[in-house]
Each structure stands twice: as structure tokens, then as C-alpha cells.
Amino acid sequence: MAILITGGAGYIGSHTMVEFLNAGRELVVVDNFLNSKPCALERVKQITGKDFKFYEVDLLDKEALERVVCENGIDSCIHFAGLKAVGESCQKPLWYYHNNITGTLNLCEVLQKYNAKRIVFSSSATVYGNPSSVPITEDFPLSTTNPYGETKLMIERILKDLHTSDPEWSISILRYFNPIGAHKSGLIGEDPQGIPNNLLPYITQVAAGRRERLSVFGNDYNTPDGTGVRDYIHVVDLARAHLKAIERAEKITGVEHFNIGTGVGYSVLDIVHAYEKATGIAIPYQITPRRPGDIDECYANPAKAAEILGWKAEYNIEDMCRDAYNWQLKNPRGYDD
């Protein structure tokens, strides 16, 4: 039986495909390349020496999606496909709601129809809103501050209702913290279009000389050095969590939520220094005003994933920085090279 991967050409999807193919899993992949390039899939084949079926399908095209599921004996799904930029979601909320929610509804309807009632969903620490304390456990109150986060929370609720209505479903909701880094081969990595929104891709482009200096968004947060603290996790560690999640979903039914983070918080300046140490390159920066919507601190208590999934992050912050830079060096313009 095959696993359907939605959004497999994307940053996290491509890294997860490598881990699944290396584990001998049969994959069927759909993506519409809204935020990715076909080249990422070729690179996955290059790294693993393994093949998989790919369909250029939009989740909004339910008939095409149904054909893929029907033709391939799909029995489970890892669902990455979605739009993910917080700022853009505030400017184009209807697009975000339509793509992320309607796409997921179509997917669940099709999976249910073909009795493939097993799904791992890419949620986000953004569903914890502005947490009242850290580290965050899975039972913290949920709230969101932007349409992107709202789509994640809505999908979590839809999946819970789906299981209540049909207890045969096995649903694993992974709340990712801040994924960074790249596969050690340097063949796949994060390929942001335009000016990066996120910290690590921005620093990486500064290191490569593509941008002059980093703007550190505020140094008056309630944190040890005043800059924002986050839980950065190597994308390969994150990818491996999906393998553990699907193995568990193959054994039990139910809905479970897991924090996927390291449990360690690093400030923006910690990251700048770790990057400099890992690469030997100075990262010029300036302090600028806060970015609206940012919070002081966000890091996971990942104990539940360790206990139930048997998963734990293995890479440290310098590994993450080194691998991000290696990807950048080998692909100065991302997959366009």
C-alpha cells in the first residue's frame, strides 16, 4: 500500500520524502508547484536512488485528486500542502482560507471514500498564539493572530470532528516549531521566493552576500538578551517525526497532537552567533523596530512526542546553521541554479 504525500515538492515535504523512501516506503506525491519547483523532486530521487509516482495536481481539483487516490491503492496520507506565509495571509485571507481549508476538505473526503483513514497533518506552534508561559505543552490554550494560523487551527478542529464522526480514522497532528536547515547533501533545502520572511533564510542570504545585513526585529522583548526566542528544529529531525507518526497511526486509531521541537529556545542573537561559529562568516546586523504580531518566547516541551512516538530531535543549532549554509553555497539561487 502507498502513502500519499501532498505538497511533497516543498521544503518539509521533500525532506520527509527522503526519510520515507530510505525507510523503504512506497510514495505517491501530489503538488501544484504553487510554492516549489519540480527540481526538488528530481533531487529527492538523486539522494535516495529511489523512485515514486508524481502527479501535478491541485488539492482544489477534487476529481483529479480522487483519480490519484483511486488508482494507487493509497492507505494513508502525510498532508503538507498549503500556503504558509503569515504576512501574505493577512493581505489575501480568502486565498489562504480557500486553498488550505477547501484543499483539506477535498482531501479528507477523498481519503474517506477510499477507506484511507490515516492522516498526519502539518500544524504549527502558531496555534498556541501568545503562550502565557514556556515551555509549551500540547494542552495549552489555542488561539491565533492571523489568517494562516486560523487555517491551521480550523483544520485541527475539522480533523477532530472527523474522528468523532468516524472513529476508524487515525489522525496525527504535528505542531512544528521553527524548522530550519537542510539535507546534509546540500541537494534539497529551503528555497524562499523574493525577500525571505523567516530568520534563517535571511541570515543565510546575508552570509552568502545576497543581502547586506540582517534586521533584528526588536531588542526589547522579555527575554535574556531582549530579542525573540524560538525553538529551531532541523528539518531532517522534523522529517523523521513523520515516520514515527505514521508508524503509530498504523497501529492505533484516534486523534493525537504532538509538539515537534527540540525543547530549547534560542534568541535571534544566539542564532546569529551560532551561525557565525558554524560557518566562520560574520553576520552584520542592525536592531530595528519589532515586527507586528511577533511574541517574546515560543518553545516546546517535546516530552509527549518522546514518550509516545519515541521521537527526539538529534541535531543541534550549529548543525542546523551549517547545513543551511551548505545548501546555500551549493545552490546560490536555490533550485533556479
Residues annotated catalytic, as ranges: 148
Q: Can you give the three-state secondary structure of 171-212, one letter per residue? A: EEEEEECEEECCCCCCCCCCCCCCCCCCHHHHHHHHHCCCCC
Q: Which of residues 23-62 bind ligand WQD (CB under 6 A)?
A: none
Distance CA 105, CA 111 (A): 10
Q: How many residues bind ligand NAD (CB under 6 A)?
A: 27
Distance CA 36, CA 200 (A): 18
149 forms part of the interface with ligand NAD (CB under 6 A): no
Q: Which residue is nearest to ligand WQD (CB)?
A: 228
Distance CA 43, CA 38 (A): 9
Q: Residue 88 Cβ, how far from ligand WQD at the closest point, in Å?
A: 11
228 forms part of the interface with ligand WQD (CB under 6 A): yes
Distance CA 23, CA 30 (A): 20
- Number of Cβ atoms within 10 Å of the Cβ of 126: 25
Q: Which partner from the list ligand NAD, ligand WQD, none does 197 bind, CB cut-off 5 to 8 Å by kind?
A: ligand WQD
204 forms part of the interface with ligand NAD (CB under 6 A): no
* Cβ-contact 298, 136 below 8 angstroms: yes
Q: Which of 260, 259, 298 lies closest to 130, judged by CA?
A: 298
86 forms part of the interface with ligand WQD (CB under 6 A): yes
Beta bridge partners of 174: 122, 258
Beta bridge partners of 29: 5, 54
Q: Under DSSP, is residue 74 helix (H, G, I), strand (E, B) or coil?
A: strand
Q: Which residue is nearest to ligand NAD (CB)?
A: 10
- Number of Cβ atoms within 10 Å of the Cβ of 61: 14
Q: How many residues bind ligand WQD (CB under 6 A)?
A: 18
Residue 212 has, within 13 A of its CA and on its CB side, a CA count of: 2
Q: Which of 260, 196, 263, 191 lies closest to 230, judged by CA?
A: 263
Q: Which partner from the list ligand NAD, ligand WQD, none does 35 bind, CB cut-off 5 to 8 Å by kind?
A: ligand NAD
Could you tell me which stretch among 6-14, 133-141, 200-208, 261-269 binds ligand NAD (CB under 6 A)? 6-14
Q: Which partner from the list ligand NAD, ligand WQD, none does 230 bind, CB cut-off 5 to 8 Å by kind?
A: ligand WQD
16 forms part of the interface with ligand NAD (CB under 6 A): no
Q: Which partner from the list ligand NAD, ligand WQD, none does 82 bind, CB cut-off 5 to 8 Å by kind?
A: ligand NAD
Site string for ligand NAD, 67-106 (x = CB under 6 A): -------------xxxxx--------------x---x---
For residue 186, is it left (φ>0), alpha (ψ between -120 and 50) or beta? left
243, three cell numbers: 515516520
145 forms part of the interface with ligand WQD (CB under 6 A): no
Q: Which partner from the list ligand NAD, ligand WQD, none does 34 bind, CB cut-off 5 to 8 Å by kind?
A: ligand NAD
Q: Residue 12 Cβ, how far from ligand NAD at the closest point, in Å?
A: 4
Q: Which of residues 168-197 bind ligand NAD (CB under 6 A)?
A: 176, 179
Q: Which of residues 26, 66, 88, 294 is near ligand WQD by CB under 6 A?
A: 294
Give the footprint of ligand WQD on this chain (CB under 6 A): 84, 86, 124, 126, 178, 197-199, 202, 214-217, 228, 230, 268, 291, 294
Binding interface with ligand NAD (CB under 6 A): 7, 9-13, 30-36, 58-60, 80-84, 99, 103, 122, 124, 176, 179
